[in-house]
C-alpha cells in the first residue's frame, strides 16, 4: 500500500452507517427474503420489489439530496449490497449496478443539464444499466464493434451489446460506442440512451446458472439517434470513463461476494446446530468446527479488504490495485465458503429445498463479471511492477 494511504484498514462503521446497515438488513429479511424462491423459479426480479428499493433510497445512495438522492457515500453502497446479498445476490446486483456503474459516470462526467434531467428520474423510479460488453469484447473490453456516427448533427449508434445487467428493467442506458475506429480505443465515447429511442431494442435474455432473478440481456442498436447533448463526457474519452467506472464497480462485486458467502455460512451454521448424527449435533464435531472457523476467517479477511478499498475511494484515493485485490479475494473466498456450506448440508445441500445450492451457484459469477480473476491479477501485477 502506498504511503499516502491510511496505515490501517478503516473498517469500523459509524453510528449512521450501523443504523443504515440494520435498516437494509431488516428490509432484506422482510421484503427480499419472502420473494427469493419465486424470483428464482421465474428467473425474474419481482417487479413489486423495485419500487421498494426506491422508497428506501437504495437506488440513489451517493446522489446529492438536491437530485433526490440520499447524499451518502460508497461505504453505504457497500453495506447495502452486502446485506441484500446475504439474502439474494441477484436482488443485490440491481442496487449495485445503479449505484456504481450508472451513477459514477453521471456524477463525475455529466453536464449540469444532464444531471438535472436524469438524476432525479434515476433516484425516483428509473432503473439504469451500463452497456460496455459485446460478443467480441469481453476481457478485451475496448475491442468494440458498436459504432457512433455523426450525421447532420445527430449521433447514430449501430451495433449490439451483450451481458447487460438490468437490461430488462432499465429505462436509461450508459452506452459505449466507437466514434472514430481509426483511433482505436481513443475513439470510444459514452452516450446516454433512453429506452424507447427509435431503433433501440432489448434482445435475448440469458438463461443463467446463478443470479437468475437478475436480468442479463442483449441490447440492439439499429441506427439509434442520440442528440449531441446526450454525449457523456468528452468525445473520445469513453475508455477513461469506462475504466474509472469499473474500478468503483469492482467494490460492489466484492460486497456482493462477501454478502453471499456470509449468507451461506449463516445458513450452514444454523443447520449444523440442528442436524444430529451419531447421537450429537454436527456442530460438536471438531472437524466441522475447524472447517467453519477457517471459512469464517477468510470471509472476514475479504470483508476487511472490501471495506478498506471502499474507505480509500471515499477518501479520494486511487483504488486500481486495492479494488482489484478486494474483488479477486472476495470472489475466491465466496466460492470456497459456499462450497463448504453446501457440503455441510450434506445431501440436502444439493437440493432446492435448502438455500445452500443457490448460494453456491450465485458465487461463480464473481470470478467472471466486471473483470475476470485473471484480469484482476493482471491489474494487480501492473500496479506492483509500475
Digit-coded pLDDT (tens) for 166-214: 999 999 999 999 999 999 999 999 999 999 999 999 999 999 999 999 9
- Distance, in Å, from the CA atom of 286 to the CA atom of 26, rounded to the nearest integer, reads 33
Model pLDDT, residue 7? 41
| Residue showing cell 447514430 | 156
Which domains, and CATH codes, for the chain? 15-127 (1.10.540.10), 129-236 (2.40.110.10), 240-385 (1.20.140.10)
pLDDT of 1 > 50? The answer is no
Model pLDDT, residue 366? 98
Compute CA 306 distance to the chain's CA centroid, rounded to the nearest angstrom. 13
Going by the DSSP 8-state scheme, the letter that residue 210 receives in this structure is S
370 is catalytic: yes
pLDDT of 9 > 60? The answer is no
Of 350, 339, 344, the C-alpha closest to 274 is 344
pLDDT of 6 > 50? The answer is no
Digit-coded pLDDT (tens) for 59-84: 999 999 999 999 999 999 999 999 99
Compute CA 371 distance to the chain's CA centroid, rounded to the nearest angstrom. 12
- Distance, in Å, from the CA atom of 227 to the CA atom of 192, rounded to the nearest integer, reads 9
pLDDT band at 140 (very low <50, low <70, confident <90, very high): confident
Compute CA 253 distance to the chain's CA centroid, rounded to the nearest angstrom. 5
High-pLDDT (> 70) share of the chain, %: 97
Question: Can you say whether residue 91 is alpha, beta or left, with left for phi > 0 and alpha for psi between -120 and 50 degrees?
Answer: alpha
Digit-coded pLDDT (tens) for 47-58: 999 999 999 999
Residue 350, burial from CB neighbour count under 10 angstroms (0-12, 13-18, 19+)? middle
- Distance, in Å, from the CA atom of 326 to the CA atom of 254, rounded to the nearest integer, reads 6
pLDDT band at 11 (very low <50, low <70, confident <90, very high): low
pLDDT band at 375 (very low <50, low <70, confident <90, very high): very high
Show the cell assigned to 94.
440491481
What's the average model confidence in pLDDT over 110-133? 98
Mean pLDDT of the chain: 95
Digit-coded pLDDT (tens) for 341-372: 999 999 999 999 999 999 999 999 999 999 99
| Residue showing cell 452486502 | 82
pLDDT of 4 > 70? The answer is no
SS3 state at 107: helix
Model pLDDT, residue 118? 98
Amino acid at each position: 500500500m502506498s504511503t499516502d494511504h491510511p496505515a490501517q484498514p478503516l473498517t469500523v462503521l459509524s453510528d449512521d452507517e450501523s443504523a443504515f446497515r440494520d435498516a437494509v438488513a431488516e428490509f432484506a429479511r422482510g421484503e427480499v427474503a419472502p420473494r427469493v424462491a419465486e424470483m428464482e423459479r421465474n428467473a425474474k426480479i419481482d417487479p413489486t420489489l423495485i419500487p421498494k428499493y426506491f422508497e428506501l433510497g437504495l437506488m440513489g445512495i451517493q446522489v446529492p439530496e438536491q437530485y433526490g438522492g440520499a447524499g451518502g457515500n460508497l461505504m453505504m453502497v457497500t453495506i447495502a449490497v452486502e446485506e441484500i446479498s446475504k439474502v439474494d445476490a441477484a436482488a443485490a446486483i440491481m442496487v449495485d449496478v445503479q449505484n456504481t456503474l450508472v451513477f459514477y459516470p453521471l456524477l463525475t462526467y455529466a453536464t449540469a443539464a444532464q444531471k438535472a434531467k436524469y438524476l432525479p428520474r434515476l433516484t425516483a423510479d428509473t432503473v439504469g444499466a451500463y452497456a460496455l460488453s459485446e460478443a467480441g469484447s469481453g476481457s478485451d473490453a475496448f475491442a468494440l464493434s458498436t459504432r457512433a456516427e455523426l450525421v447532420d448533427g445527430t449521433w447514430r449508434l449501430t451495433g449490439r451489446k451483450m451481458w447487460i445487467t438490468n437490461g430488462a428493467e432499465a429505462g436509461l442506458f450508459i452506452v459505449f460506442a466507437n466514434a472514430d475506429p481509426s483511433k482505436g480505443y481513443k475513439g470510444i465515447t459514452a452516450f446516454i440512451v433512453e429506452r424507447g429511442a427509435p431503433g433501440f431494442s432489448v434482445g435475448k435474455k440469458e438463461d443463467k446458472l446463478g443470479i437468475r432473478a437478475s436480468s442479463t440481456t442483449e441490447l440492439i442498436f439499429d441506427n439509434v439517434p442520440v442528440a449531441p447533448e446526450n454525449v457523456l463526457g468528452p468525445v473520445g474519452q469513453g475508455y477513461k470513463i469506462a475504466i474509472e467506472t469499473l474500478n468503483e464497480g469492482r467494490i460492489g462485486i466484492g460486497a456482493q461476494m462477501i454478502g453471499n458467502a456470509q449468507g451461506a455460512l449463516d445458513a450452514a451454521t444454523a443447520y449444523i446446530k440442528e442436524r444430529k448424527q451419531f447421537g450429537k449435533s454436527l456442530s460438536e464435531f471438531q472437524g466441522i468446527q475447524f472447517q467453519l472457523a477457517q471459512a469464517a476467517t477468510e470471509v472476514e479477511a475479504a470483508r476487511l479488504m472490501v471495506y478498506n478499498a471502499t474507505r480509500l475511494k471515499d477518501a479520494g484515493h486511487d483504488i486500481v490495485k486495492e479494488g482489484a485485490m478486494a474483488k479477486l479475494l472476495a470472489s475466491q473466498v465466496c466460492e470456497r465458503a459456499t462450497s463448504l456450506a453446501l457440503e455441510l448440508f450434506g445431501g440436502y445441500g444439493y437440493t432446492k429445498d435448502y438455500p445452500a445450492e443457490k448460494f453456491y451457484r450465485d458465487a461463480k459469477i464473481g470470478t467472471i463479471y466486471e473483470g475476470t480473476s485473471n484480469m484482476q491479477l493482471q491489474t494487480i501485477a501492473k500496479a506492483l511492477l509500475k
